[in-house]
Amino acid sequence: MFAVLKIGGKQYRAARDGELVVDRLAGDVGDSVELPVSFVADGDNLDLSVRTARVEILEHLKGQKIHIYKYRAKKTYRKKTGHRQSRTRIKVLEVG
């Protein structure tokens, strides 16, 4: 059995007691959060009713660093920046 969770404009496949790393969620470590579920699948059966999933926030962390490098050919314009996305590790407690 698995469910598809909607988190931050993205969808994640999750099972009970599974862990996911998603975009940053509001809340402190140890908090329980209710998230919307697109659908629940159990074998060949699909349940499309409106449901929520209860997840626990395990930790807040940062994603992999990416580098952005801009330049213009034959000019003295060069710019290097970086970015690290804020992420949250969650554990699915139940799909309701």
**How far apart, in whole angstroms, are the C-alpha atoms of residue 46 and residue 51?**
13
Domain boundaries, the chain: 2-95
The mean pLDDT value of the chain amounts to 93
Closest CA to 22 of 8, 39, 42: 8
77, 71 Cβ separation under 8 angstroms: yes
18, 92 Cβ separation under 8 angstroms: yes
Residue with tokens 């930790």: 59
pLDDT tens digits along 49-91: 888 999 999 999 999 999 999 999 999 999 999 999 999 999 9
Residue 37: phi and psi, rounded to 5, are: -115, 130
2, 11 Cβ separation under 8 angstroms: no
pTM of the model: 0.81
